[in-house]
Amino acid sequence: MSFESLGLRAELLRAVSEKGYSMPTPIQQQAIPLILEGSDIMGGAQTGTGKTAGFTLPLLQRLMAADKPEKGRRAIRALVLTPTRELAAQVAESVQTYGRYLPLKSTVVFGGVSINPQKMKLIKGVDILIATPGRLLDHVGQNSVDLSKIDILVLDEADRMLDMGFIRDIRKVLALLPKQKQTLLFSATFSEEIKQLANNLLKSPALIEVAQRNTASEHVTQVVHPVDKNRKRELLSYLIGSNNWRQVLVFTRTKHIANRLSEQLTTDGIMAAAIHGNKSQGARTKALADFKSGKVRVLVATDIAARGLDINQLPHVVNFELPNVAEDYVHRIGRTGRAGNEGEAMSLVCVDELRLLKDIERLIKRNIPKVVIGDFEPDPSIKAEPINKGRSSKLGNANRGSRNKTTQQPPPPHASRSGRAKRNTGQNQQRGR
Ligand code: AMP
HSE at residue 355, side-chain half, CA atoms within 13 A, is 14
State in Å: Cα 30 to ligand 1 middle.
15
Q: Note the pLDDT of residue 278.
A: 78
pLDDT tens for the chain, 433 residues: list them. Answer: 789 999 999 999 999 999 988 889 889 999 999 999 999 999 988 777 889 999 999 999 999 998 766 667 789 999 999 998 889 999 999 999 999 999 999 999 999 899 999 999 999 999 999 999 999 999 999 999 999 999 999 999 998 899 888 999 999 999 999 999 999 999 987 888 888 899 989 998 998 877 544 455 567 788 999 999 999 999 999 999 888 888 899 999 988 999 999 999 999 899 999 988 777 778 888 888 898 888 999 999 988 766 656 665 678 889 999 998 888 888 888 777 655 566 788 999 999 999 999 999 988 888 888 999 989 999 989 888 888 654 333 323 333 333 333 333 333 333 333 333 333 333 333 434 5
Q: Note the pLDDT of residue 399.
A: 32
List phi, psi (to 5°) of 32.
-60, -50
Q: Which residues contact 350 (CB under 8 A, 6 or more apart)?
A: 226, 227, 228, 229, 232, 378
Which residue has a Cα nearest atom 15 of ligand 1? 50
Q: Which residues pair with 108 in a beta bridge?
A: 130
Q: Note the pLDDT of residue 246.
A: 87
C-beta 53 within 6 A of ligand 1: yes
Specify whether the CB–CB gap between 323 and 290 falls below 8 A.
no
C-beta 48 within 6 A of ligand 1: yes
C-beta 51 within 6 A of ligand 1: yes
Q: Note the pLDDT of residue 310.
A: 62
State in Å: Cα 311 to ligand 1 middle.
10
The four Cα atoms 51, 52, 55, 57 give a dihedral, to 10 degrees, of -120
Ligand 1 test: best mutation among 17, 18, 19, 87, most atoms within 8 Å of CB? 19
CA torsion through residues 403, 409, 410, 416, sign: negative
3-state secondary structure string, the chain?
A: CCCHHHCCCHHHHHHHHHHCCCCCCHHHHHHHHHHHHCCCEEEECCCCCCHHHHHHHHHHHHHHHCCCCCCCCCCCCEEEECCCHHHHHHHHHHHHHHCCCCCCCEEEECCCCCCHHHHHHHHHCCCEEEECHHHHHHHHHCCCCCCCCCCEEEECCHHHHHHCCCHHHHHHHHHCCCCCCEEEEEECCCCHHHHHHHHHHCCCCEEEECCCCCCCCCCEEEEEEECCHHHHHHHHHHHHHHHCCCCEEEECCCHHHHHHHHHHHHHCCCCEEEECCCCCHHHHHHHHHHHHHCCCCEEEECHHHHCCCCCCCCCEEEECCCCCCHHHHHHHHCCCCHHHCCEEEEEEECHHHHHHHHHHHHHHCCCCCECCCCCCCCCCCCCCCCCCCCCCHHHHHHHHHCHHHCCCCCCCCCCCHHHHHHHHHCCHHHHHC
Ligand 1 test: best mutation among 23, 30, 52, 187, most atoms within 8 Å of CB? 52
Specify whether the CB–CB gap between 121 and 66 falls below 8 A.
no
HSE at residue 30, side-chain half, CA atoms within 13 A, is 17
CA–CA gap between residue 100 and residue 113 (Å, rounded): 25
C-beta 376 within 6 A of ligand 1: no
Beta strand 316-319 with 248-251 is parallel
C-beta 24 within 6 A of ligand 1: yes
State in Å: Cα 353 to ligand 1 middle.
33
CA–CA gap between residue 315 and residue 194 (Å, rounded): 32
C-beta 312 within 6 A of ligand 1: yes
Which residue has a Cα nearest atom 11 of ligand 1? 50
* Residue of 355, 358, 302, 356 whose CA lies nearest to 332: 302
Quick one: which atom of ligand 1 is closest to the CA of 19?
12
State in Å: Cα 226 to ligand 1 middle.
33
Phi-psi region of 99 (alpha: psi -120 to 50; beta: other; left: phi over 0): alpha
Which residue has a Cα nearest atom 12 of ligand 1? 312
State in Å: Cα 22 to ligand 1 middle.
11
Taken in order of first residue, the domains within the chain and their CATH numbers are: 4-209 (3.40.50.300), 220-408 (3.40.50.300)
State in Å: Cα 339 to ligand 1 middle.
5
Which residue has a Cα nearest atom 14 of ligand 1? 50
State in Å: Cα 351 to ligand 1 middle.
37
State in Å: Cα 39 to ligand 1 middle.
22
